[in-house]
Amino acid sequence: MMWRRGKILGKGGSAVVSPTRNNDLLLPSLMAIKSAPVNNSQLLYIERELFSQFEGCPHILRCFGDDVMIEDGEQWYNNLLEYAAGGSLADRIQSNGRGLPEIEVRRYTNSILLGLSYIHEGYVHCDIKPHNILLVEEKDDLSMDLNGKRRKRVQKVVQRLLT
């Protein structure tokens, strides 16, 4: 896989997130890469395992795999994630200033509840907040809903599993 890390988008206690451009035709050309030094990557590895269990839900961020690379002499473990071009729900609320239109609130609430329902079949997400709800815009993507029916989605809301 050939990809290069971009400018850091965010930094948490255990990992950094950067945009990634790649030339692998089997993957999106723009993704997010969540990285941690290999010697401190246990949570990131667990997150990858969780993502693999939620692959069928269109309301949860997609993970395209993992990778290990050497950068500046240090080994890094990386999760290759769907890029959330819309930022976080907190960003969206703040940019609007006067609250979100009701139609957006309904759409986000519906998607959040569907995603949480899927996660809560086996896990409890203990950090639900607008900063952990990511907005992914997809204009011409056909996907499956939770009932297995094809539908066209314009925007979906996804949750970060671990931060």
Closest CA to 148 of 52, 58, 53: 58
CA distance 3 to 24: 8
The answer to whether 84 and 136 have CB atoms below 8 angstroms apart is yes
- What token pair was written down for 146? 């939770």
Could you tell me how far CA 30 lies from the centroid of its own chain? 13
Residue type, 25: L
Catalytic residue among 67, 127, 141, 145: 127
* Residue 140 among the catalytic residues: no
Residue type, 33: I
Q: Which residues form the catalytic set?
A: 127
